[in-house]
Amino acid sequence: MQTDVSGAPLPAQLKALRRAGRRSLVSLAERTGLSRLTVAAAEGQADARLSTLTALFDELGYVLVPVPKPLLAETVAFINNQGQSVSLPAGVSAPLGVGQQAFQYRVGKDADAAIDDDGEAPS
């Protein structure tokens, strides 16, 4: 069963997903080790801790994923299209991953090492 909660505030999303899964506040609290009042507060207007929200969404079978604002529409489209590829908008680039950063750093170091003392590349 899919529940569309995109665009709704996080507390409303949490409540909608709990109800869609036919879960009670008490059962969700018991499964996460949180109090019923904490779960109710997270679904209300209280500012819940990230660890609380993570535990609740995890128990409901969801993961909180931070998405850069410029990529939000494309990310939602990707998810709604069940994983079909989408491209980044013109002029927007995704940040480099850790592996890409390490490779870029290594390539830069190798290029610097290949330059002689006089600033010329060896022949």
Q: Name the band, by pLDDT with cuts 50, 70 and 90, for residue 1.
A: very low
Residues 6+ apart with CB under 8 A from 13: 5
Dist. CA 11–CA 45, nearest whole Å: 7
Q: Name the band, by pLDDT with cuts 50, 70 and 90, for residue 65.
A: confident
Quick: pLDDT tens for 14-23.
999 999 999 9
How crowded is residue 77: how many other Cβ atoms within 10 Å of its Cβ? 11
Helix (H, G, I), strand (E, B) or coil at 83: coil
Classify each residue of 22-44 as buried b or exposed e, where b means 16 or more C-beta atoms within 10 Å of its C-beta: ebebeebbeebebeeebbebbbe
Sequence spans of domains, the chain: 10-80
pLDDT at 72 over 80: yes
- CATH, range 10-80: 1.10.260.40
pTM score, whole prediction: 0.59
